[in-house]
Structure 1
Amino acid sequence: MVLFLTATACQQTFTPKPRGYFEIPLPKKEYKVFDEPGYPYTFEYPAYGKIVKDTVFFDAKPENPYWINLEFPDFNSKIYLSYKTIGGANSIEQLVNDAFRLTYKHTYKAEFINERSIETPNNVFGLFYDVGGNAASAKQFFATDSTRHFLRGALYFYAAPNADSLAPVIRFLQEDMEHLAGTLKWR
């Protein structure tokens, strides 16, 4: 009798749980216009994002007052937007090379980097970078009119870069970055 109780008492029903990630609720796509006086550009950005003036650049003051960040508190992420005027030390070749260099710094973690052209009727040209894998910045772009204006954007998350778990949010915010670049206008 004791043997029977011992043999049956330790049996448990085990149910394996599938691997998965938490579902991330994504808001409805709605856009607002960034059209602040004095800024050399205007664009549409998502209503669930918040524009914040960039006040610190690696513990120093930003190069100019037109650097802003588009923050997404619900996704613990941010798109850094840095603007430069073309001319002098900021030649178009130098700015494009810098954008290329900053994107390709991620090659040690990236599985791939794809480039896509940006060209809009608003005299905006540039490249959009898709950085695959567990890179720190999965989406980047630069946009210019090639004579006066240069804007660079980079998406970062304040979390460990895990391409699988971040994929739905990265795709969602990629649409917003593409919309921003597509509605960008120079002043």
Structure 2
Amino acid sequence: MCVASCRPPVYYPKPSGYFRIDTPTRHEYLLFDRPGFPYSFEYPANSTIMDDTVFNKEGFNKYWVNMYIKDLGGIINITYKEITKEQPLYKLVDDSWGLSYFHHEKADYIDQKATTNENGVQCMIFTIGGNAASRHQFAATDSVKHFIRGALYFDVSPNADSLRPATDFLLQDIEHMMLTLKWK
């Protein structure tokens, strides 16, 4: 005598995972040197720089640009301000620090890296740990006339683990931009 029994198969859900981010195999750069702009720098060849149309409706911020990194779904907002009596350096620096430290509630940590490039530009790069909206932010100045601020964003909910390959790759590009930044 033979007895057989069948059970329906049991299905188990797959564990949560992250989509794969393929970064370029190497860093390549182009020169951003638009006529009339008070600055120039080298930027990633896999990105496109366009004028900021959101905050430049009145023409007051004509040197503000956005760098779109289509392959990685990121954007780097770059804002420029001239140091004046109405906008002294200390106010611009305070505003930049305030915008970087605005993320402290979501941040696990905030690291700062200061450097001066060979063109005499003083640069500060902020790395914000955790699930903050912007992992990398930066500021640069000559302390006399020019001030630039920038921030990296992605068009997704912030998740530091899933975005790590892209943010780590783009940090090298941001550092290269800061090292090649020149005032005109």
**Shared fold, TM over 0.5:** yes
The residue matched to 2:4 in structure 1 has which SS? helix
What's the CA shift for 1:29? 1.2
* Matching residue within 48, 51, 70 for 2:49: 51
Aligned to 1:31: 29
One-letter amino acid matched to 1:48? N
* Matching residue within 127, 130, 136 for 2:127: 130
Q: Distance in 1 between matches of 2:161 and 2:37?
A: 37
Aligned to 1:142: 139
The residue matched to 1:4 in structure 2 has which SS? coil
Cα distance change of structure 1 residues 111 and 60 upon mapping to structure 2, 3 Å threshold: farther
Q: Distance in 1 between matches of 2:22 and 2:81?
A: 35
Alignment pair present for 1:178 and 2:178: no
Structure 2, unpaired ranges of 5+: none
Structure 1, unpaired ranges of 5+: none
Cα distance change of structure 1 residues 159 and 11 upon mapping to structure 2, 3 Å threshold: closer
Q: Distance in 1 between matches of 2:2 and 2:65?
A: 74
* Matching residue within 85, 90, 104 for 1:88: 85
The residue matched to 1:150 in structure 2 has which SS? strand
CA RMSD of aligned residues (A): 2.1
What's the CA shift for 1:64? 1.9
Q: Distance in 2 between matches of 1:107 and 1:2?
A: 69
Q: Is the 8 A contact 2:123 2:178 kept in 1?
A: no
The residue matched to 1:9 in structure 2 has which SS? coil
Q: Is the 8 A contact 2:119 2:181 kept in 1?
A: yes
Q: Deviations over 1:135-174 (max 9, x none)?
A: 0000001000000000001001110000000001000011
Q: Distance in 2 between matches of 1:10 and 1:2?
A: 20
The residue matched to 1:127 in structure 2 has which SS? strand
Q: Deviations over 1:11-42 (max 9, x none)?
A: 55x67856542322111311000011000000
Cα distance change of structure 1 residues 4 and 108 upon mapping to structure 2, 3 Å threshold: same
Q: Distance in 1 between matches of 2:141 and 2:60?
A: 18
Q: Distance in 2 between matches of 1:180 and 1:123?
A: 14
TM-score of the aligned structures, taking structure 2 as reference length: 0.92
